[in-house]
Amino acid sequence: MIKRMPSQNLQDWIAARKRFQLSHAHVQMARELGMNPRKLGKLDNHEQEPWKAPLPQFIEHLYVKRFGRERPEVVMSVEEQALAKEAARAARKAERRRARVEVTGPLKEKRDEGHPSPPRDEDGTARAGDRGRPNGGGTGQALSHRTWSGG
């Protein structure tokens, strides 16, 4: 399985977690609240604004207000969420591939029986220019020059 880079949105959340010193739970709560990681700087207390709560406390307050509980039931880091999403995606892809083979497997074999294979050289490779067509691979028709007659 190829390990892919997290999306730009997930990279933004990772950077915000480091920049604002948030825990994995705070990042998950902020994501569930629909916050934008690029706009967290506005919400953060810069110690010049005494009326603002620190960002982790503000996120917790909004989370309790919206969902009625202190923390998420299952806390996962952004990286763990990305890996879980990738694993689910790979499982769905494998399931679709398996279902496609079950449905089209026997039909494809019957379809392939009717087509002749191209002539091959002694070493088993197809001959250049000859793809099993009677005139050596060409279509047998010259290209005609057509002009647009307007309409």
Residue with the larger pLDDT of the pair 107 and 24 = 24
DSSP 127: P
pTM of whole model > 0.85?
Answer: no
Distance of CA 2 to the CA centre of its chain: 12
4: Cβ–Cβ under 8 A, 6 or more apart, which residues?
86
Rounded CA separation 39/23 (Å): 17
Find out whether 59 and 53 touch, Cβ atoms under 8 Å.
Answer: no
DSSP 3: P
Rounded CA separation 125/140 (Å): 24
Q: What average pLDDT score do residues 129-144 get?
A: 55
Residue 26: how many other CB atoms lie within 10 Å: 22
How high is the mean pLDDT of the chain?
A: 81
| pLDDT > 80? residue 149 | no
Model confidence at 49, in pLDDT bands (50, 70, 90)?
confident
Whole-number pLDDT of residue 3? 66
Burial 61-88 (b: 16+ CB within 10 A, else e): ebbeeeeeeeeeeeeebbeebbeeeeee
Q: What average pLDDT score do residues 6-28 get?
A: 94
Residue 121, token pair as written in the block: 């050289």
The secondary structure element, H or E, covering residue 119 is none
Find out whether 22 and 57 touch, Cβ atoms under 8 Å.
Answer: no
Instruction: Please write the tens of the pLDDT for every residue from 52-101.
Output: 899 999 999 999 999 999 999 999 999 999 999 999 999 999 999 999 88
Residue with the larger pLDDT of the pair 147 and 55 = 55
